[in-house]
Amino acid sequence: MKLLNCPMNGVRPLSEFLFGGEFREMPNPDASTDLEWASYVHYRDNAPGIKKEWWYHSPSGTWFIAERNTLTDEVLATYLHGNSPVSKVKEPS
Amino acid sequence: MMGMRLPAKIGEWIKRDKKIHFTFEGQEYFGYEGDTITSALLAAGVKVLGRSFKYHRPRGVLSLANHDINALVTDGVDTNIRADVVKLVNGMQLQAVNTDGGVIKDKRKYIDSISPLLPVGFYYKAFHKPASLFPFWEKLIRKAAGLGIVNFNFPRINKRKLNDFCDVLVIGAGPSGLSAALSAASNGLEVILVDENQYIGGTLTYDHAGQDTSQQILKDLVASVLDHSSIKIYSGAYAAGYYQDHMVPVVTDQGITKVRAKAVIVATGAFEQPPVFHNNDLPGVMLGSAAQRMIHRYAVKPFNIGVVVTANDHGYRVALDLVNAGVEVSALVDMRPKPKQDAQVDALVGKGVQVYTGYCIYEALPVKGKLGVSGALVCPYDEETATADIKNAVRIECDGVAMSAGWAPAGALLYQSGMGVAYRNDIQQFVPNRLPKGVFAAGRVNGVFSLDGRMNDGLRAAAEASNFLGKQVNVVSVAEHQGVSPSHPYPFVHHPKGKNFVDFDEDIQIKDFINAAKEGFDNIELMKRFTTVGMGPSQGKHSNMNAIRILAKIRNLPVEKIGSTTARPFFHPTPMGHLGGRSFHSHRLTSLHAWHQAAGACFVDVGAWSRPAYYQKAGLSRLENIQQESLAVRQSVGIIDSSTLGKVEVCGPDAAEFLERFYTGVYADQKIGRSRYVLLLDELGVMVDDGIATRLADEQFFVTMSTANAPAVYREMQRWLQIWKLNVTLVNVTGAYGVINVAGPKAAKVLSKLVSLDLSEAALPMGRSAKTEMNGVSLRIVRAAFVAKQAYEIYMPSPYALSIWKALLEAGKEEGICPFGTDTQRLLRLELGHPLPGIDTDGLTNPFEMRADHALNMDKPFFIGKRSLEIIAKKPLTKVLVPFVLAENYKGEIPQDCNLIIENGAIKGRVTSISYSPSAKRIIGLAYVAPHQSQLGSVFDIRTDNGSLAKATVVTAPFFNAD
């Protein structure tokens, strides 16, 4: 079973976590076009690579971001939202 | 029968002072402690241990290592016991599986003679038409082919599950594994060493080549390992699989230990692969390593007069061990054309062994009934064409054949970890060329075959693992492979009669592969599935590599282009009792649960909660119960336990701001004590959940959510709070408060007997909440209209719920107060026309389609889903949820949930809720219809399950006169 490092609780087995989907920075709803907004809510490229993901540690109720290589299933960093170290994720251009 | 036990010898695994008695096929035998079932039978001279899966051919020992299943036995209720490796126990009463009348006389042995009629896949081809007869054929085939019969009286046995932890897990305790474990431990690491055999040592315990030099190496290695305080040994235990982040379940008789390591060294060795010739499956024909295991571990003579056939140098080691054990080796048949010239050959020739170079065994000659070997037909062999020159055949008398042709790496765990492989021509073997972080391979699985090399490779792997774990040690180098290949690229002998077996589990012969390729199944994955090679209980351990070699030849491709199938966990079949867990379904029960049970409630799971669906009254059907309960609520008063509602307190200076962003409505100006509807959308603008928010104080809201959605809604609250970083604290009080809903025209009358609160319409209108107390318990009462116009939700601390519930029942006695369940609640809310998220919505429903525009405040700067709704609002609606009724005297097929709305043959929508309403005295429901069908009075068609169309009319809710 995989291990995940919860930023609040340390390394715990995967069975204590829930996956919360890919993390994407919300564009400004007032400034974005309909197309930009639709792309934010609908579009996922699904290409393997390093992704930011939401994960939830159920017993403690902690949401955090994991940067994970979806090709190798390697987790490179975990942190609370807003506490990002230097990100390894290439932002889509 | 002649006993085959050898005199006591150094290193044997049996304890001769401890006799063990057992029976096999009704005959009494004995063995010694330390014997496996097979070794005890072999020692007693028993050669026929089982019948094959398909053709019912007699079978004896092949690998003596759980790499084949020739010897499967039943003992009482337990079946498919692997006799080769299962320890003998006093009093066992064993039978071979899959026979009709015993292993010797098996009445189904005739199947072997009709085998040409039964090629691979014959049953699909022969019996697929007419389909109606297939069950008949299937029954016959299942009876004729197969393994042990499962006894359904098998007791439920729960084996313990343990966890263990280490720095380095070493799998395989042969020379490379032992060296690796010692080296890693001496680098200061905690080591767990796992081996499936009863004793550690691997090949050192059986591959002696007639000498005892390796005995001293074994003794020294084992002594050092046993001595080392940082090495923990699991012997008689197999590593069953590799799971992420280095978790390996280790299986023993007692159960599974989940070992979590920081690094794993896989030193699992290799499986010997048989050369393939006619009758290579007769009892008495065995792998060279099996003969060696017999001699050195169990002190059993494999046969009296033997022929060794080999396509590598290992056969010479086997021959020397046989000669040393007193076997008369009449010939060593080397399939390779180039004569081997060294001391081993000289030693063998010196012992009178005749060496045939460039020869093969064309066929093993059977004794009557194919119950054993009478000789071998040895012919010159053309390596290029894999054919024998039968004109120059030599018949050699013997009662046994030992065969060596090569090895397949035992790489299952490495494959599971994500290894990449390359095929090395110098050793004719797949070896790892890319391993995941923290996983290391050593020894034969890594392509290293010499004894020195394997020990060195163990040191190398240990050094690399140590450095991976932060140590700084020098990595030793391992010499390149020297000399000839340990595996032959194509050790096969074609024969017009076939019966040259590749997979012994499934009776698969060379011609089956050729036929499969002809039919187009010429990719290794397709070929595996068509021929079923490697799909039997030994999962290709003795057959997978040969299958790949055959396919490579058929397709005229190099082996590396064919690739290899991989074996999933578990490495060996594992008893269900080891895998089965206890039932850890977390069920949440309200504090009224025991009361509900006593009152005859029929329970239903809602999320994690167990809720009464209705209360069973004698002689009434489910529907009648529900209708009676609903009428009680409509005519007088009902009471329901709603404690399962999700409840979250939103506290802090930004509490109102949080709700405004999270839900669609307005809460900033909400007065203390007032309740408002809350509607949650996701970012797509899709309906997720709804509930009620009551403002308890300036900075404190109490929010309810539906039972099933509550955990997800609470999680979303936590996520958005982290994103928005508002000054808010969320407290999930779902379990802390009990909720009782009193509903119906007499609800106020009942309630007023217990509380001093003014319940008049003026004092407590819809949406208002008030604090009060009952019998000294503080309560909050919310006027809510979910199931009836007159309804009160009463909130109290959970421990008091039962006393309040009982007090309400007592107070309502006169009015005939009736407890009702969630099924009734669903009918009641339908009668009022309230849609339920998740029932009347799906993963695409937006609030416009629900006609919930009134709950949306589009003037707010932001709420979740608002931006998407702005886009959706520009587009025309495609469906609308409407209340509908069927004709009062409707007599046709009753429509069901999810029946489709049809107009001119096209689908326009679907029914989401439908029920007979005793209050409306007709069938009522909610359905999505096309917008043009949604006007009041419109009539649309519902296609029922029998295909007939039911006419429905759009009405307004509620469906009955609620006043």
ipTM: 0.94
Task: Tell me whether residues B722 and A37 touch, CB distance under 8 A.
Answer: no
Determine contact, residues B569/B779, Cβ cutoff 8 Å. Answer: no
Distance from CA of B190 to the nearest CA of A (A): 20
Flag whether A90 is in a domain.
no
- At B844-899, the pLDDT tens digits run 999 999 999 999 999 999 999 999 999 999 999 999 999 999 999 999 999 999 99
Chain A nearest CA to B681, separation (Å): 13
Chain A residues with at least one Cβ partner in B under 8 Å: 1-3, 14, 18, 20, 29-30, 32, 34, 37-38, 40-42, 54, 56, 61, 63, 72-74, 80-82
The arithmetic mean of pLDDT across residues B134-141, rounded, is 79
Give B-chain residues touching A74 at CB under 8 angstroms. 437
Query: What's the whole-number mean pLDDT along residues B834-843?
Result: 92
What integer pLDDT is reported at residue A84 of this predicted model? 77
CA distance A79 to chain B (A): 12
Picking from B244, B683, B718, the nearest residue to A63 by CB comes out as B718
What is the pLDDT, as a whole number, of residue B885? 97
Cβ distance B684 to A42 less than 8 Å, yes or no, reads yes
CB distance B743 to B642 below 8 Å: no
Write the residue in A18, A34, A73 that is nearest to B244 by C-beta. Answer: A73
Could you tell me which chain A residue has the CA closest to the CA of B247?
A1
**Closest to B815 measured CA to CA, from B740, B746, B741:** B746
CA nearest neighbour of B910 among B963, B840, B960: B840
CB contact under 8 A, A41 and B722: no
A61 occurs within a structural domain? yes
| pLDDT given at position B302 | 97
Q: Note the pLDDT of residue B376.
A: 98
Per-residue pLDDT tens over the stretch B520-534: 999 999 999 999 999
Mean pLDDT across chain B? 94
B695 CB-contact burial (10 Å; exposed 0-12 / middle 13-18 / buried 19+) = buried
If pLDDT is split at 50, 70 and 90, which confidence band does A61 have? very high
* Cβ(B681)–Cβ(B688) below 8 Å: yes
Beta carbons of A80 and B722 less than 8 Å apart:
yes
Q: Which chain A residues touch B870 with a CB distance below 8 Å?
A: 34
* Chain B interface residues (partner A, CB cutoff 8 A): 243-245, 247, 418, 436-437, 683-684, 715, 718-719, 722-723, 725, 861-862, 866-868, 870-871
- Whether residue A46 lies inside any domain: the answer is yes
Instruction: Evaluate if residue B963 carries a pLDDT over 60.
Output: no
Per DSSP, helices labelled H in B671-821 are 710-724, 747-752, 801-811
Each residue's pLDDT tens digit, B684-718 = 999 999 999 999 999 999 999 999 999 999 999 99
Residue A89 has pLDDT above 70, yes or no: no
Query: What pLDDT, on a 0 to 100 scale, did the predictor assign at position B166?
Result: 98
Q: Taking CB atoms and an 8 Å limit, are B722 and A61 in contact across chains?
A: no
Q: Inter-chain contact B719–A54, Cβ cutoff 8 Å?
A: yes
- What secondary structure letter does DSSP report for B490? -
Percent of chain B with pLDDT over 70: 99
Residue B593, pLDDT above cutoff 90:
yes
Kindly report, residue by residue over B471-501, the tens digit of the pLDDT. 999 999 999 999 999 999 999 999 999 999 9
Closest Cα in chain B to A19: B715
Residue B1 pLDDT greater than 60, yes or no: no
pTM of the model: 0.86
Q: For residue A5, which of A48, A65, A81 has the smallest C-alpha distance?
A: A65
Does residue A87 form part of some domain?
no
- Residues of chain A contacting residue B726, judged by C-beta atoms under 8 Å apart: none
How far apart are the CA of B270 and the nearest CA of chain A, in angstroms? 27
Is residue A69 a part of any domain in this protein? yes
Quick one: CA torsion of B449, B455, B460, B461, rounded to 10 degrees? 80
Whether B867 sits inside 8 A of A29 (CB atoms) is yes
Res B455: pLDDT? 97
Q: Which residues of A are less than 8 Å from B719 in CB distance?
A: 20, 54, 56, 63
DSSP string covering B809-820: HHHTGGGT-EE-
Q: Which of A52-61, B150-159, B262-271, B602-611 has the lowest mean pLDDT?
A: B150-159
- Out of B247, B725, B866, name the one closest to residue A82 (CB): B725
Contact A3 B723 (CB under 8 A): no
Confidence band (pLDDT; 50, 70, 90) for A90? low
Residue A58 sits in a domain of what CATH number?
3.30.2270.10
* Mean pLDDT (whole number) for B913-940: 96
Is A58 within the bounds of a domain? yes
Q: How far is CA B18 from CA B15, B21, B35, in A?
A: 6, 10, 10
Strands, E, within B551-600: which ranges? none
Token pair 């699992």 is found at: B268
DSSP B110: G
Count of structural domains, chain A: 1
Q: Is the pLDDT of residue A92 over 90?
A: no
Give the residue-averaged pLDDT of B929-950: 96
Cβ-proximal residues to B419 (8 Å cutoff; 6+ apart), any chain: B411, B432, B434, B435, B436, B439, B441
Q: Note whether residue A88 is domain-resident.
A: no
Nearest CA distance, B721 vs chain A (angstrom): 10
Q: In this complex, do A1 and B245 lie within 8 Å of one another by their Cβ atoms?
A: yes
Identify the residue among A30, A35, A39, A41 best suited for mutation to test binding to B, counting B beta carbons within 10 A and taking the highest. Answer: A41
Could you list the residue range(s) of the whole structural domain that residue A69 is in? 3-79
pLDDT at res. B22: 98
Structure tokens at B483: 């000399």
What pLDDT, on the 0 to 100 scale, is given for residue B525?
92
pLDDT surpassing 90 at residue B133: no
Q: Which residues does chain B have within 8 Å of residue A54's beta carbon, measured at their own beta carbons? A: 719
Instruction: Judge: B245–A20 Cβ closer than 8 Å, yes or no.
Output: no
In a domain, A9, yes or no: yes
Q: What is the pLDDT of residue A93?
A: 46
Alpha-carbon dihedral sign for residues B832, B838, B842, B845 = positive
Mean pLDDT for B195-213 is 95
Q: How far is A33 from chain B (nearest CA, A)?
A: 10
Q: Which of B247, B683, B723 sits opposite A81 (nearest CB)?
A: B723
Most A CBs within 10 Å: which of B416, B867, B868, B869, as the mutation test of the A interface?
B867
Query: Nearest CB to A56: which of B436, B715, B871?
Result: B715
Chain A residues with CB-CB distance to B718 below 8 A: 56, 61, 63
Q: Which residue does chain A place closest to B714, by CA atoms?
A: A61
Contacts of A29 in chain B (CB under 8 A): 862, 866-867
Residues B435/B441, Cβ–Cβ less than 8 Å: yes
Q: Model confidence at B122, in pLDDT bands (50, 70, 90)?
A: confident
Query: Nearest-CA distance from B259 to chain A in Å?
Result: 11
Distance to chain A for B655, nearest Cα, Å: 19
Residues of B in contact with A41 (CB under 8 A): 683-684, 868
Residues of A in contact with B722 (CB under 8 A): 63, 80-82
Smallest CA–CA distance, residue B723 to chain A, in Å, is 7
Rounded-to-integer distance, Cα B377 and Cα B365, Å: 7
Identify the pLDDT of residue B962: 60
